[in-house]
Amino acid sequence: MLRNPIKHCKDCGAAVAYRTPDDGDTKARAVCTVCHIVHYENPLNVVGTIPYWENKVLLCKRNIEPRWGKWTLPAGFMELNETVAEGAARETVEESGAQFEVEGFFSLVNVARVGQVHMFYRARLLSDVFDPGHETIEARLFAEDEIPWDEIAFRTVKETLERYFSDRRAGHFAIHAFDIA
């Protein structure tokens, strides 16, 4: 079920109808009733980092909904005209004001029920001084045993952090791909 279905054609403004296009497609799409343009609805990409300083990770306390006041990794929606790594870096700067160096790709999390794909990179912090933006109440470093696990904003972040600390203990970082139902 679509959360925000398309109602009007983005080209001509006429009403759309959800139907299977005549081009051999097998899914109902938003098809303009006047100019017949097919409008595709695709998942949103959420990109971010796991910024670390020695044995700690940087978390940001959210100053926006959803989940105001909960902790998260610095992340957000990818913009047009940027790579995944560029988007992850931009979001990290916007939310934490951290200085860092992006390292390896770490995780890809499919959240099909909300039409999102979350991707995280490891990021080595170059300083333990932060200047969070307006979307963040506080940016703070946490060791694994200090993380407020019950106050983590999103399951994607919680499971990414669990895999990060497991890999850290093992002394080797893998690339993780998993689904959240």
Q: What's residue 160's pLDDT?
A: 98
pTM, rounded to two decimals: 0.90
Domains of the chain are: 1-41 (2.20.70.10), 44-179 (3.90.79.10)
Q: List residues bridging with 140 in a β-sheet.
A: 59
pLDDT digits (tens, 9 = 90+) for 134-145: 999 999 999 999
Q: What's residue 3's pLDDT?
A: 61
Give, rounded to a whole angstrom, the gap between the first and last alpha carbons of the chain.
15
pLDDT digits (tens, 9 = 90+) for 113-161: 999 999 999 999 999 999 999 999 999 999 999 999 999 999 999 999 9
Least Cα distance to 111 among 77, 87, 61 occurs for 77
Residue whose pair of structure tokens reads 């990414």 in the numeric block: 160
